[in-house]
Structure 1
Amino acid sequence: MCSRLARPRMFRSSSWSRPLLLPALTPTGLKNWYSLAKTEAEEMALEYGKKNGLHVVTFCPGLVVGPLLQHVAVNTSSKVLLYIIKGGPDTLSNKFWPLVDVRDLADAMLLAYEKSESSGRYICSLDQMDIKDLVSLMKSMFPNYNYTDKMVDVDYKVYTTSDKLKNLGWQPRKLEETLADSVEYFEKAGLLQDADGKPCRLPYFYRVNAEE
């Protein structure tokens, strides 16, 4: 997670977060210790590898979606996609979201393990689109859901590139396949029904209007 204050046009594998700024970079105004911890852990892992002669490779995935293995708890990134489909009272930032299929992420990790030329850091995500375009795409594929209409435009839309990973041989699925398989899983698991009568909520970390 890079600082939005720097506003680069493109994030590459060589792009790093600015640790001093990370705690302040949430739409809710909460301290973002989660992203700071991930950045520092990655730095420590790479440094440890250098000092001890280990071949360390790290991955920076986008928002991980796709069919789930577990049937009891839904992970946070899948809750974001569920909220986009079902809608609710919370507001999303209309920024570019680097999505990645969980199966493609697993393939990427296996690929890096098998390829002796793999090295350093890899961004792992599909081509991005903003939330409005994602909603439009999903409406064309699955027109019978409510979808969120609470979005606020931002002025720091940036891209990520997975070219380094693709040059290693990574071939991700099309976004449409990932979305179709995700919705199919949600339907079979009953996650698109409001059985308890409560509105769907966006995970707190992603809310723009998180006063509650």
Structure 2
Amino acid sequence: MSTAIDDKLVCVTGGSGYIGSHLVSLLLSRGYTVHATVKDLKDEKETKHLEALQGAQSSLRLFQIDLLDYDSIVPAISGTFGVFHLASPCIVDQVHHPEKQLLDPAIKGTNNVLRAAKEAGVKRVVVTSSVSAITPSPNWPPHLVKGEDCWTDIDYCKQNGLWYPLSKTLAEKAAWEFAKENDLDVVVVHPGTVMGPVLPPTLNASMLMILRLLQGCTDTYQDFFMGSVHVKDVALAHLLVYENKSAAGRHLCVEAISHYGDFAAKVAELFPEYNLPRLLFAKRYTARTVEDQGCSTKVDGFRHAVHTMDQIVKDSVESLKSKGFLS
């Protein structure tokens, strides 16, 4: 194996996804050469928007991988200095086969990516977890703020069929275990509900939620708090924890925590022309969690860069309109 590794050559798994596309774009703008992974190189819905990014022609190479196939991952990571592992399924609707749809790709996929990174001599891996690996945590002491030291309750998720939070929690735990056992430099980012401009031709779960709300969806969520965050802030958080050599551990990445009802009210306030339904809640809860501090204060300099909730909502709706999802 060559000892001369270009420190500006990185791999982004899940590069065609919502966060991944913005991260690839940011990396290219900062002079990085990027290996971005997709599920299917023949699917233009995964490739075309990446190939159109500024700098892509000279500094972007696409790789097709299967998270459950270790050998398919190796070429994408080989020769890279750093890895951003974003690829993981996100399903918020009903899950019929949790092992196949969520758990195996998240957990085994993370192990395969980290194993390939270790074998390739990668210097740092940034793993994208989620606020869903921090909460739900019903047994957390009510007087303590939920932050990076809090973990989602695995048993609670299993008992209530919360497969996505379970997948993110178990995948992150697997990442930390691998890092410890194999002396691999791993740092983790925990985005909340990610919204903002859309680059891919398809919508992620968070943007689908706001689209459905604008289209008149009347679903109510009694005990649902959102850690909303702008997608560009999430991409920047990944780059900051990668480049900051002292960054370690877990990094919460949210603008603020708000109840879903308050979020819906904000959307209605900013876009009254859509006549959003007035959502009623049988019971209101008080969130005690990290609030109004943007990304974790451990990410130096990031606090002042975050977009406000008004900006997040406006950028999301304007992008949905410009992309033809809304009239």
TM-score > 0.5, shorter chain as reference: yes
**Structure 1 unaligned runs (5+)?**
26-30, 194-212
**Structure 2 unaligned runs (5+)?**
1-131
Measured against aligned partners, the alpha-carbon deviations of 1:135-185 in whole angstroms (never above 9, x if no partner) come to: 333333221012242342344634235577234221311221121111111
For the pair shown, the structure with the greater C-alpha radius of gyration is: 2
Q: Detail structure 1 runs of 4+ shifted over 4 Å in the superposition.
A: 161-164
Measured against aligned partners, the alpha-carbon deviations of 1:47-94 in whole angstroms (never above 9, x if no partner) come to: 2112222111111211111111112x2111111112233322432336
If each structure's helix is expressed as a fraction of its own residues, which one has the higher value? 2
Aligned residue in 2 for 1:169:
301
Secondary structure of 1:165's counterpart equals coil
Do the aligned residues in 1 keep the contact of 2:193 with 2:229 (CA within 8 Å)? yes
Distance change in 2, residues 1:164/1:103 (3 Å): closer
Query: Aligned match of 2:170 in 11, 36, 40?
Result: 40
Q: 1:1-212 residue pairs with structure 2 within 5 A?
A: 1=132, 2-6=135-139, 8=142, 10-25=145-160, 31-71=161-201, 73-93=202-222, 95-152=224-281, 153-155=283-285, 157-161=287-291, 165-167=296-298, 168-170=300-302, 171-193=305-327
Identity of aligned residues (%): 28
Q: Distance in 1 between matches of 2:152 and 2:243?
A: 28
TM-score (norm 2): 0.52
Q: Distance in 2 between matches of 1:4 and 1:54?
A: 28
Which structure would you say has the larger RCO, counting Cα contacts within 8 Å and 6 or more residues apart? 1
What is the count of residue pairs matched by the alignment? Answer: 187
Do the aligned residues in 1 keep the contact of 2:196 with 2:315 (CA within 8 Å)? yes
Q: Distance in 1 between matches of 2:195 and 2:239?
A: 18
- One-letter amino acid of the counterpart of residue 153, structure 2: R
Measured against aligned partners, the alpha-carbon deviations of 1:81-110 in whole angstroms (never above 9, x if no partner) come to: 122333224323364311011111000000
